[in-house]
């Protein structure tokens, strides 16, 4: 069922659901305004959220390859909205895995089920996914909660994901991953985007491949200064994470890679035995202004206190 989630600023959250024509999408509206859609990604080999909007309604994610917008960049077919995948899971590629690609062992992430639950001031979209190798073997089962919050100025999503290895798995050391957003072309350094991390480093040359609690991109989108921040929870494995933060609009963190970012470090192999689990938590905040005016450091402090 295609559902529409509506969060209302009232004594209790308001939830409504409506049937749509596409059985593999869940539409999320906040305070009566469209926010995003969870796509099962059956034609993309992985699920993703797209588009993402600010509280003012501006779209902050690139349209391509879901749609062709005149003048928009058209590189990297596998960059779709907001997604989570990785490119070395028992040697199988789940990052560079567009169905049109033929190089390497291409895997797919299949949504087994997804549902919405309403709450007061927020609602949760739970999804269970299977990371399958080219022969269809399930390498990883992912259980993910995505919590969408109602706020007049911010758009905040909490991600809480648990990876389970049914028969054992190894995550190799590569920069090609993992939790990522492909932002609209305004969020490129050549167009004036400002990138800053929690340690005060600015620009891709100083942020890429470094470890930090958070990174924020800020740019002018259709005449409005907007920012997008990603937070890495302090209880995550390998915190603080490495950042695969690019100047052309790719915004990603990578909790598995190490040597790929810093050749002085040993190559990291993250192994899970049969039935073992890994849990990760991240927050995405779309805010007006830049990291300073939006008080992103304070927002992270509040987030990091949550257990």
pLDDT digits (tens, 9 = 90+) for 273-298: 999 999 999 999 999 999 999 999 99
Specify the 3-state DSSP secondary structure of 299: helix
Name the CA dihedral angle for 288, 244, 236, 194, rounded to a multiple of 10 degrees.
Answer: -20
Instruction: Tell the burial category of 306 from Cβ atoms under 10 Å away from its Cβ (0-12, 13-18, 19+).
Output: exposed
Percent of the chain exceeding pLDDT 90 equals: 88
Nearest Cα neighbor of 275 from 166, 131, 130, 144 is 166
- The pTM assigned to this predicted structure is 0.94
Confidence of residue 26 (pLDDT cuts 50, 70, 90): very high
Q: What pLDDT does 211 receive?
A: 98
CA 112 to chain CA centroid, nearest Å: 19
CA contacts within 13 A on the Cβ side of 170 = 8
pLDDT digits (tens, 9 = 90+) for 210-257: 999 999 999 999 999 999 999 999 999 999 999 999 999 999 999 999
Could you give the CA distance from residue 79 to residue 44 in angstroms, rounded to a whole number? 10
Confidence of residue 11 (pLDDT cuts 50, 70, 90): very low
Arithmetic mean of pLDDT, 91-101: 97
pLDDT digits (tens, 9 = 90+) for 103-134: 999 999 999 999 988 777 898 999 999 999 99
Confidence of residue 71 (pLDDT cuts 50, 70, 90): very high
């Amino acid at each position: 069922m295609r559902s529409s989630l509506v969060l209302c600023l009232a004594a209790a959250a308001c939830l409504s659901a409506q049937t749509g024509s596409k059985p593999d999408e869940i539409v999320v509206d906040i305070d009566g305004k469209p926010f995003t859609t969870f796509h099962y990604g059956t034609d993309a080999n992985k699920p993703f959220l797209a588009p993402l909007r600010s509280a003012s309604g501006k779209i902050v994610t690139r349209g391509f390859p879901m749609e062709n917008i005149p003048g928009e960049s058209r590189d990297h077919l596998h960059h779709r909205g907001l997604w989570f995948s990785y490119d070395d899971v028992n040697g199988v590629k789940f990052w560079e895995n567009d169905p049109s690609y033929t190089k390497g062992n291409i895997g797919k992430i299949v949504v087994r089920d997804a549902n919405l639950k309403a709450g007061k001031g927020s609602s949760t979209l739970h999804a269970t996914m299977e990371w399958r190798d080219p022969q269809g073997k399930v390498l990883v089962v992912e259980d993910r909660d995505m919590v969408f919050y109602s706020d007049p100025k911010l758009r905040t999503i909490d991600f809480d994901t648990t990876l389970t290895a049914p028969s054992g798995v190894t995550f190799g050391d590569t920069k090609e991953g993992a939790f990522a957003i492909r932002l609209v072309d305004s969020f490129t350094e050549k167009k004036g985007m400002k990138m800053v991390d929690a340690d005060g480093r600015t620009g891709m040359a100083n942020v890429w491949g470094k470890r930090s609690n958070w990174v924020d991109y800020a740019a002018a989108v259709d005449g409005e200064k907007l920012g997008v921040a990603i937070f890495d929870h302090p209880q995550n494995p390998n915190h603080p994470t490495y950042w695969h933060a690019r100047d052309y609009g790719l915004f990603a963190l990578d909790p598995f890679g190490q040597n790929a970012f810093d050749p002085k470090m040993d190559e990291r192999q993250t192994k899970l035995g049969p039935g073992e689990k890994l849990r990760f938590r991240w927050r995405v905040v779309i805010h007006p202004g830049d990291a300073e005016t939006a008080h992103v450091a304070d927002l992270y402090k509040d987030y990091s206190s949550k257990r």
